A and B are shown apart, each in its own frame.
Chain A
Amino acid sequence: MKNRTIFAAAFVLLGLLVILAPTVLFPVCESEMKMACFFTKKAEIGVGLVIAALGVIYFFLKNKDIRLGISIAELLNAGLVLALPAKLTGLCKMSDMACRVKTYPALIVLSVLLAVSAAADIFLLARSGNEK
């Protein structure tokens, strides 16, 4: 129960931060022209929503196997959080632009934190499953 609450809270919080990072906390470049980082922002909002929603579902589930599956999905989502600005949708090409200076580092940090917490949960759930 304790672990479940902690990890669910972590997933929801990180999901919300993934939404807030490119929009409010470390916003991408402001421009009338729609640049690459604008689309990355939109995509990250979607991914962040999925991460947070999975966190909420995780909280209400008692079945360990399903929770394990959700954690694996969160781990893959962590990869997606990073892959969007790095490869898929990209960022502005000049490295002194706001999206590269602020948003990208914030997303790297969030992605690593999400990956670490998902991996920790996978480890704990797999271990407790084996002990049964």
Chain B
Amino acid sequence: MSLKRTKNTIKDIQRHAFLNACLLATVVILSVMLFSVTVISVSLKKGMGNMRNRLGADIMLVPKGEREKAENMLLEGSRSNFYFDGAVYEKVQSIDGISDSTSQCFLKSLSADCCSSEVQIVFFDPETDFVVGPWIETEYKQKLSGDAVIVGSDIVSEDGRIKLFGQEYAIASQMARTGTALDSSVYFSTDAKSELLKNAEEKGSFLTEEQKKGDILSSIFINVDGSHTAEQIIDSAHKTIGDIFDVVYPKKLHESLSGSLGKITGVVNVISLSLGILLVAILLIINSIIMKGRKSEIALLRVLGHRKKDLIRKLLSEIGLISLAGALGGSFLGALIVIPFGRYIGKSLDMPYLGPGIASVLLQILLIVGLVILIVFLSSVFFIIHTTNIEPYLALRKEE
């Protein structure tokens, strides 16, 4: 469309300012809704996918009575302290039918110097680990030594170092975002455990009797090999280490969470669908009113010699311009609300939430602009064709 024609179209739109403003407002609301719903559900699904990867072990052994805490820790990343004796791990390793096993030890830190709230400290064994590793964005080639750490994505550090209990540690790598409070954890190699506990005690942090022992671990993650079942492994573990543990099935936890995500998206879909239908109905009504009001104008233009095809094109370009502006403005507004508040949305839904990247936001804006223009076009094309088809004589006579 040439610039002159665009200017003329804008003038035509301004001539029917009130109704066109109603149309624009409806289009903006429709686009805000479409954009927000798609971004939120895509981000929740992405968070959930990430969660499945994180819950990468078949079974997780935790001390007896701590199952609920451990489940909360996996799902919401809430911080916990619970411990086994360190010797348990070696006994578990000897059980037949385990393909991978690794242990972790959690330490709830009371406010680190780096941060204004407490962080969870996790000790893991880089040699056997298969739970933390997949989350590390950049390779950490050097062996994780005592004074280097891996940090969750939310830990902010300007100089690549983090201070905990008075001691500075180099950040070897940063994990990808998981969308839960695990993002604010600091991961140490198991070798650093005794020194860190000593520092913590010196700095006046309260340590429980168990923590003071040093040789402790909090959970054992196990993958079962193909020829055994999880139940067999649990049976053997009961025989080997006694009845001192509870079992968490991380993968089953994921299923239950997916279920509640399904419910949330179901409700959101029903609400947005009914709202969408309502908005389309409003669009139809506005379009019919606009075209009714312009009947005599169209008839006069036809009497003056304008072709039907040209008139249809003129009306469609007006509608197209309004819907383009509305869709762009609506998507922008939606992005302005949904993207900065993403973390707040995830937190209030109690779900892992991973916001979209710039590329996917742009793609979604494009898709929504296309979809909205299509909806507005479909809702107006009937009225436009109908109005241009009325005989000028009839149209003008009725106006008398």
Interface residues in chain A, defined as those with a beta carbon under 8 Å from any beta carbon in chain B = 29, 31, 33, 35-36, 92-97, 100-102, 104-106, 108-109, 112-113
Contact = CB atoms under 8 A, between A and B. Distances in A.
B142 interface: no
8 contacts: A92-B115, A93-B155, A94-B116, A96-B343, A97-B117, A101-B347, A102-B344, A108-B340
Contacts of A96: 117, 154, 181, 183-184, 343, 347
Nearest to A108: B340
B115 A93 contact: yes
B341 A105 contact: yes
A109 B340 contact: yes
Contacts of B119: 94
Nearest to A36: B116
Contacts of B116: 29, 31, 33, 35-36, 92-94, 97
A114 B181 CA distance: 33
Interface string B322-339: 000000000000001100
Nearest first, the 8 closest Cβ-Cβ pairs linking A and B are A105-B340, A95-B154, A92-B116, A105-B341, A108-B340, A93-B156, A94-B115, A93-B115
Interface of B: 114-117, 119, 154-156, 181, 183-184, 336-337, 340-341, 343-344, 347
B122 to A, nearest CB: 16
Given A109-B336, A109-B337, A95 B344 contact: no
A33 B113 CA distance: 13
B184 A95 contact: yes
B135 to A, nearest CB: 16
B25 to A, nearest CB: 16
Given A95-B184, A96-B184, A112-B336, A101 B115 contact: no
A96 B89 CA distance: 33
Contacts of B117: 92, 94, 96-97
Contact of B156 (A33, A95, A105): A95
Contacts of A112: 336
Given A94-B117, A95-B154, 18 more contacts: A31-B116, A92-B115, A92-B116, A92-B117, A93-B114, A94-B119, A95-B184, A95-B343, A96-B183, A96-B347, A97-B116, A101-B343, A101-B344, A102-B344, A109-B337, A109-B340, A109-B341, A113-B336
A29 B111 CA distance: 15
Nearest to B342: A105
Contacts of A31: 116
Contacts of A104: 340
Interface centre among A94, A95, A101 (most CB of B within 10 A): A94
Contacts of B344: 101-102, 105
A95 B182 CA distance: 11
A129 to B, nearest CB: 20
Nearest to A99: B116
Contacts of B183: 95-96
Contact of A94 (B184, B336, B337, B340): B184
